């Protein structure tokens, strides 16, 4: 009888571990924002669904999407799904480009993060990646790591899901090497234009990340051909002292027109505990006549 009970208990534990799961999480924020002209209130709340499971052979699969993006997730233009194993990880949906998957952006500042800034790329700390930023096409991202090496490749299907018409298709590949507290890598991106007589746009990126105790440093250089940008470079530093994190960045983008623009920002976060963070930042650029932007508030994670 004892052996039967042990076997039954093991079976129940195994079944539970292999069962697919759906979990809820969320985030929110509330505060004030200065857009260069006026102060205004800013708040929001979001709920995210996270799906996960494991096959009998040990392959992991899952996905995630926000409640406010449920319609887009059903169409493959928001959220994402994945399957992973010894072969690597394959993700589809609203995924990042290969270089962004490996390198990310410069340090985020302020309680609004990347969504508050003066650059045409959204937040001023966003590295100007070339591909997978229009949100209307389904895409695939492949990632693989072996020891100190990491590889990624991405492409979209070139079809606008809203109109079912063929539009510009994008491709990207990236590789990174990690040694000790340092990571360096290269990325290459292409926009394959369908319009007759329009040259394809390409971009080569070099990125580096270093960690020194509680301080993270990130830098990049991007060189673009036949696009709106000639070149771009940036560096950021984020350092944590107890419950306080100070982060700053500088980014210079050389546009074909109107020319060079430099953005910079400084932010401070204070961890209140329990998922709440008090956060503020100021950001500006060197464009004549433009005023600094700023925000201050509280971020919540549930």
pLDDT for res 36: 83
User: Token pair of 248, please?
Assistant: 């700053």
Are 207 and 99 in contact, with CB atoms under 8 Å apart? yes
pLDDT for res 302: 93
**Statement: 101-302 belongs to CATH 3.40.710.10:** no
The answer to whether residue 3 scores a pLDDT higher than 70 is: no
How many Å separate Cα 186 from the centre of its chain? 17
pLDDT for res 124: 57
pLDDT for res 238: 96
Q: What percent of the chain has pLDDT over 90?
A: 56
Are 133 and 150 in contact, with CB atoms under 8 Å apart? no
Omega within 30 of 0 (cis) for the link into 274 = no
User: What is the average pLDDT across 280-290?
Assistant: 84
Tell me the domain boundaries of the chain: 48-94, 101-302
pLDDT for res 133: 61
Comparison of pLDDT for 94 and 119, the residue scoring more: 94
Among 63-77, 80-94, 102-116, the range scoring the smallest mean pLDDT is: 102-116
- At residue 240, what are phi and psi to the nearest 5 degrees? -110, 130
User: What is the average pLDDT across 230-239?
Assistant: 93
Indicate the average pLDDT of the chain.
85
User: Would you mind telling me the total number of residues written for the chain in this entry?
Assistant: 302
- Of the candidates 105, 36, 27, the one whose C-alpha atom is nearest the C-alpha of residue 295 is 36
| Dist CA 144 CA 147 (whole Å) | 10
Sign of the torsion angle spanned by Cα atoms 106, 247, 31, 33:
negative
| Dist CA 113 CA 95 (whole Å) | 19
3-class SS letters over 26-57? EEEEEEEEECCCCEEEEEEEEEEEEEEEECCC
Comparison of pLDDT for 245 and 12, the residue scoring more: 245
User: What is the average pLDDT across 88-96?
Assistant: 93
The answer to whether residue 117 scores a pLDDT higher than 50 is: no
Are 90 and 139 in contact, with CB atoms under 8 Å apart? no
pLDDT for res 56: 94
pTM of the predicted model as reported, rounded to 2 decimal places: 0.86
């Amino acid at each position: 009888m004892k052996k039967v009970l042990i076997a039954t208990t093991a079976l129940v534990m195994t079944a539970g571990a292999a069962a697919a799961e759906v979990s809820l999480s969320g985030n929110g924020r509330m505060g004030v924002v200065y857009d260069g002209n006026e102060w205004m209130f800013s708040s929001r709340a979001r709920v995210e669904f996270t799906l996960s499971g494991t096959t009998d052979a040990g392959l992991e699969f899952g996905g995630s999407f926000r409640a406010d993006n449920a319609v887009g997730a059903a169409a493959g233009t928001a959220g994402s799904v994945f399957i992973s194993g010894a072969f690597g990880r394959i993700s589809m949906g609203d995924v990042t480009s290969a270089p962004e998957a490996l390198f990310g952006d410069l340090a985020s500042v302020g309680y609004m993060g990347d969504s508050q800034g003066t650059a045409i790329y959204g937040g001023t700390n966003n590295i100007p990646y070339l591909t997978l930023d229009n949100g209307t096409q389904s895409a695939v991202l492949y990632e693989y790591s072996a020891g100190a090496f990491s590889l990624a490749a991405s492409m979209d299907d070139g079809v606008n899901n809203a109109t079912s018409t063929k539009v510009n298709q994008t491709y990207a590949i990236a590789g990174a090497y990690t040694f000790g507290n340092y990571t360096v890598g290269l990325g290459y991106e292409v926009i394959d234009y369908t319009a007759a007589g329009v040259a394809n746009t390409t971009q080569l990126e070099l990125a580096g990340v270093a960690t020194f105790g509680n301080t993270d440093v990130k830098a990049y250089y991007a060189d673009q051909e036949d696009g709106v940008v000639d070149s771009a470079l940036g560096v950021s530093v984020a350092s944590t002292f107890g419950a306080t994190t100070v982060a700053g960045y500088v980014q210079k983008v050389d546009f074909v027109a109107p020319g060079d623009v430099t953005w910079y920002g400084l932010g401070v976060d204070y961890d209140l505990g329990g998922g709440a963070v008090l956060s503020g930042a100021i950001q500006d650029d060197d464009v004549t006549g433009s005023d600094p932007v700023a925000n201050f508030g509280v971020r919540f994670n549930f």
